Amino acid sequence: MKSGSLQNKTAIITGGNKNLGKETAIDFAERGANLVLHYHSSADDSASTLADELSKKYNVKVALFQGNLIEESAVKGLFDVADKEFGGADFAINNVGKVLRKNLEDITTEEYDTMFEVNTKAAFLFLREAAKRVKEDGSVVMLTTSLLGAYTPGYSVYQGSKSAVHYMIKALSKETTRRISFNSVSPGPMDTPFLYGQETPERVEFFKSQSPHGRLTEMDDIVPIIRFLCAEGTWITGQNIFANNGFVAP
């Protein structure tokens, strides 16, 4: 596999209008990459605002796609935009996810189904499409969680739905006959609304105490790892990279 810069490459980024997806989009645009930014809600205008800002500031092209990625047609439509606007994607980065902290015996069937639709089915559809349509010498990066290596209560269905992503990546990296790398990045507890909606202040402080740096994972800690896997790190494939500053070491 070849390595190189992001200049004039094209990246599909799901959840590209907020949190880690947004920060990744900014980083890639700063380095000259064109973008296809996915966002979920049609009522959210933050994606168009971000697209305008990135286009003007970094002189790159940004296309938008709105859709629910648990639907096969939406995932295909996302990659269709990359084909139509840029002749295909060099990188495909999936940030879509949903978290639930609840004891297993209290989880409803509806909650279970929702978690596996968002975290597992959407990932499967994304990986399947990326395997066929990302350009040769490209990279696919899936965001999972360092909770995959944690022995902790409350996250059984979240851990289960995210662990499937890693095993799909491992298999796909062996099955593919194309020069594409497939990896996942598993951040530690991250300083975003994604965490605070599920955790108590006491548990947040505990998470901080597990890091030698005494803090949560920041988005700026993770973006360079994603960039590395898409640029210089393409010889890495089939791996799950735990980026958590000592929170867990599986």
pLDDT of residue 198: 80
Q: Where are the alpha helices (DSSP H) in 37-135?
A: 46-58, 72-86, 109-116, 122-133
Q: How many residues does the chain have?
A: 250
Between the alpha carbon of residue 206 and those of residues 101, 145, 155, 203, 229, the distances in Å are 16, 17, 16, 5, 30
In order of 84, 90, 112, 235, the CA distances from 12 in angstroms are 13, 8, 28, 20
* Catalytic entry in 155, 158, 167, 196: 158
End-to-end CA distance of the chain: 28
Condensed to tens digits (0 to 9), the pLDDT of residues 129-174 reads 999 999 999 999 999 999 999 998 999 999 999 999 999 999 999 9
- As a whole number, mean pLDDT of residues 102-122 equals 98
Name the one residue in this structure whose structure tokens are 């202040």: 201
Tell me: pLDDT of 208 over 50. yes
Per-residue pLDDT at 43: 74
**pLDDT at residue 1 is higher than 60:** no
pLDDT in tens, 188-207: 988 988 787 788 889 889 88
Catalytic annotation on 155? no
Band of pLDDT at residue 26, cut at 50, 70 and 90: very high
Antiparallel, parallel or unpaired: β 134-143 and 89-94: parallel
User: pTM value?
Assistant: 0.95
pLDDT, average across residues 63-81:
98
Report the distance separating Cα 161 and Cα 91, nearest Å.
23
